[in-house]
Amino acid sequence: MATNAGIEYALAERKYREAKTTEEKIKGLEEMLRTAPHHKASEKMLDQIKQKISKLRYQIEIKRAKKAGIKSLNIKREGAARVVIVGTTNSGKSTLLTRITNAKPVIAEYEFTTEEPEVGIMDYNGVNIQVIEMPAIIENFSNTKRGHEFLSIINDSDLVILTYRNQKEKDIVIKELWNSNVELPIIYYNNQDVEILKEMIWKNLKLVYVYTKMPSKDKDFPPVAFSKGSTVEDLAKKIHKDFINKFKFARIWGKSSKFVNGQQVGLKHILEDGDVIEMHMK
């Protein structure tokens, strides 16, 4: 009844305000949601309650993930991008990691050898890319003891390499990623040649690498990586914040130099893989 609804709501609100734990707070808010008047004028208030509930639920998730194991959650990002190797057990994840990075994980015939994420660095023309082998995916992965923690590392990546032994396993991994809202580009690993695979990884990361150079000096190594579509201006900003003010023009050698080698370009010029950029300052 309309009049009682007001009292019930007031009681629920009090329960929420007096709640000591996050779980109790959520319960109070849920009761508020149930007992609040539902009409046009209260829509905004209902939305606010819903938002509060999702925030609190998120806090609980984070706490649970942290409890499960702080170590893996804190893998530091290194290099220009992060790639994860995700697949079923014994599908060759560790073998692949040793092929494309400097890491030395244990490779064994038995299942579930890799229990913690294994981190390696892949070199692509001098650019470092972080590659992480995730422990094997099984059905209902997100409900496993450390599923959330591992999935948060996957979600914090730029690209997935998916390994599997047969179509059934491939479908399981795709389903688990889908269920956990992982929306990353995927490369399906089919024992591609290492160099071909590295090119595929680079292409899917949508990055460019370029070399900087000072007049009458050799090009600098290693190259610098940027997202595709970046310009001379982005490069100048990355080198030093004063560069933009002192910038006169740049000369470019490589793919993006359309007419002559050492073509003179301005700040808006778009960079391409392998370009050498010589900066001229005022």
Helix ranges (DSSP H) in the chain: 2-18, 22-35, 43-68, 70-73, 93-100, 147-155, 167-179, 194-205, 232-239, 243-246
CB of 129 to ligand GTP, least distance (A): 19
Query: 101-140: which residues touch ligand GTP (CB under 6 A)?
Result: 107-109, 111-114, 136
Pairing of strands 247-253, 276-281: antiparallel
CA atoms within 13 A on the CB side of 11: 8
Asked if 92 touches ligand GTP (CB under 6 A), the answer is yes
Name the minimum Å distance from CB 23 to ligand GTP.
35
Contact track, ligand GTP, 19-58, x by CB under 6 A? ----------------------------------------
Pairwise CA distance, residues 201 & 134, whole Å: 17
Q: Which is nearer to Mg ion, 113 or 231 (CB)?
A: 113
Considering the rule CB under 5 A, would residue 90 count as an interface residue with Mg ion?
Answer: no
Alpha carbon distance 131, 160 (integer Å): 10
Which one of Mg ion, ligand GTP, none is in contact with 128 (Cβ closer than 5 to 8 A by kind)? none
Quick note: the x/- pattern for Mg ion over 37-76, rule CB under 5 A, is ----------------------------------------
- Minimum CB separation from Mg ion for residue 188, in Å? 18
Task: Please report whether residue 191 would count as binding ligand GTP according to CB under 6 A.
Answer: yes
Strand order across the 207-213 sheet? 224-227, 207-213, 276-281, 247-253, 263-265
Pick from 93, 92, 177: nearest CA to 141? 177
Backbone torsion region of residue 68, taken as left when φ is above 0, otherwise alpha when ψ lies between -120 and 50, otherwise beta: alpha
Instruction: Using CB under 5 A, pick the residue from 82, 93, 148, 198 that binds Mg ion.
Output: 93
Distance CA(28)–CA(17), nearest Å, equals 8
Q: Which of residues 103-132 bind Mg ion (CB under 5 A)?
A: 113-114
Residue numbers at the binding site for ligand GTP (CB under 6 A): 87, 89-95, 107-109, 111-114, 136, 191
